[in-house]
Amino acid sequence: MNQSITLLSRPSGKPEISNFKFERESMPVANEGEALLKTRFVSVDPYMRGRMNLSESYIPPFEIDEPIESGIVAEVISSANPAFVAGDFVSGILKWKEYQTSDGKELVKVDANKAPLSAYLGILGMTGLTAYLGLIKIGMPKYGETLVVSGAAGAVGSIVGQIGKILGCKVIGIVGTDEKATLLTQKHGFDDALNYRTNVNLRASIYDMCPEGVDIYFDNVGGEISDAVMYNLNRFARVPLCGAISLYNAPEAGTGPRFEMMMVLKSILVQGFIYHNFSDHIPEALTKLEAWLAAGKMSYTETIIDGFQNLPSAFIDLFEGRNEGKMVVKI
């Protein structure tokens, strides 16, 4: 029998295991033009929380009683599609199923000899592209500038900071544990990191760490953490708005300080983005990321959870900060 995980109900607040349902079904068979895929690694991502809501977005919501889907690396088990042979590895947005068939239209082949398969869901996948494209195209970093990253020990944030260092910026990370702060400074070369959970005055601490002011704020979390950084922005600062995880489970967004006048007076650029806004630049981004990785200028951290049955809990754990670097589930 095959296993799949469907959406049983839409969460209100933080997602719970009871929002998901495990189902058994017969094994799929590849018809003409299709390949039979075995799921090997599954990406769990904060943006999926938005797809659990019935609201309009850049991507449609998950349907009740339909399988959840996310970035997956799968192995081709058999193929009735001339583009694939058994033993190929592919990546794409696929369903939370142990086995499934695909016509291959949205899949890209990945090379297990070039990088570990899980890396195609992280630094060489959506995560790396988001970090590179958001920072380069909106952050426009220049040598000697100061970059602050929130959600800095996560999948996107840890890559953003390292790119900032390669380009000659001073880089400060904001994270939720002291262990994550150490990971950033010891392994990933950040200049310093702040624990927002234990810090009593984030705004003042950022000022102390960045007396020259902040030129780029790469925002993964939104909310009060971002408010604290915004007060420290320099003239002509750039703010790539990548995500707002601190607000994803909030019933209402709440209110905060008004920054409009400050943004006018300081000529600050604040721009939300989805990485595929810059799809023309994906080849350039992958070339750079692969080269930096091969040259040992970058490294990556992964939290790898074992087992199909642990997919929902791995996803939920993102909202508890239980991951360092990219959270993936190995099947």
Ligand X SMILES: NC(=O)c1ccc[n+]([C@@H]2O[C@H](COP(=O)([O-])OP(=O)(O)OC[C@H]3O[C@@H](n4cnc5c(N)ncnc54)[C@H](OP(=O)(O)O)[C@@H]3O)[C@@H](O)[C@H]2O)c1
**Contacts with ligand X, residue ranges (CB under 6 A):** 45-47, 126-127, 130, 151, 153-157, 175-177, 180, 220-221, 225, 242-246, 273-275, 318-319, 321, 323, 327
Which residues partner with 79 through β-bridges?
35
Q: Least distance (Å) from ligand X to the CB of residue 67? A: 21
Reading phi first (left if > 0) and then psi (alpha if -120 to 50, else beta), residue 2 is in beta
Q: Least distance (Å) from ligand X to the CB of residue 253? A: 13
CB nearer ligand X, residue 92 or residue 321: 321
CB nearer ligand X, residue 103 or residue 224: 224
Q: Least distance (Å) from ligand X to the CB of residue 142? A: 22
CB nearer ligand X, residue 35 or residue 156: 156
Q: Beta strand 2-7 with 69-79: parallel, antiparallel or unpaired?
A: unpaired
Which residue pairs from 82-86 have beta carbons closer than 8 angstroms and sit at least 24 positions apart in sequence? 84/35, 84/109
Q: Least distance (Å) from ligand X to the CB of residue 321? A: 3
CB nearer ligand X, residue 75 or residue 224: 224
**Other Cβ atoms closer than 10 A to 136:** 18
Q: Least distance (Å) from ligand X to the CB of residue 250? A: 9
The residue assigned the tokens 């991951």 is: 323
Can you say how many angstroms the Cα of residue 13 is from the centroid of all Cα atoms in its chain?
A: 20
Beta strands in the chain, from DSSP E residues, in sequence order: 2-7, 20-25, 35-43, 69-79, 89-95, 99-102, 108-110, 146-150, 170-175, 192-195, 214-218, 233-241, 269-272, 302-306, 326-330
CB nearer ligand X, residue 153 or residue 214: 153
CB nearer ligand X, residue 83 or residue 274: 274
Task: Report the C-alpha gap between 273 and 259 in whole angstroms.
Answer: 19
Q: Least distance (Å) from ligand X to the CB of residue 327? A: 6
Task: Report the C-alpha gap between 231 and 86 in whole angstroms.
Answer: 55
Q: Are 259 and 103 in contact (CB under 8 A)?
A: no
CB nearer ligand X, residue 97 or residue 180: 180
Q: Least distance (Å) from ligand X to the CB of residue 76? A: 27
CB nearer ligand X, residue 113 or residue 255: 255
Whole-angstrom CA distances from 117 to 14, 59, 230, 276, 307 are 30, 26, 38, 22, 16
Q: Least distance (Å) from ligand X to the CB of residue 63? A: 21
Whole-angstrom CA distances from 313 to 78, 95, 271, 318, 327 are 31, 17, 32, 9, 11
Q: Are 133 and 273 in contact (CB under 8 A)?
A: yes
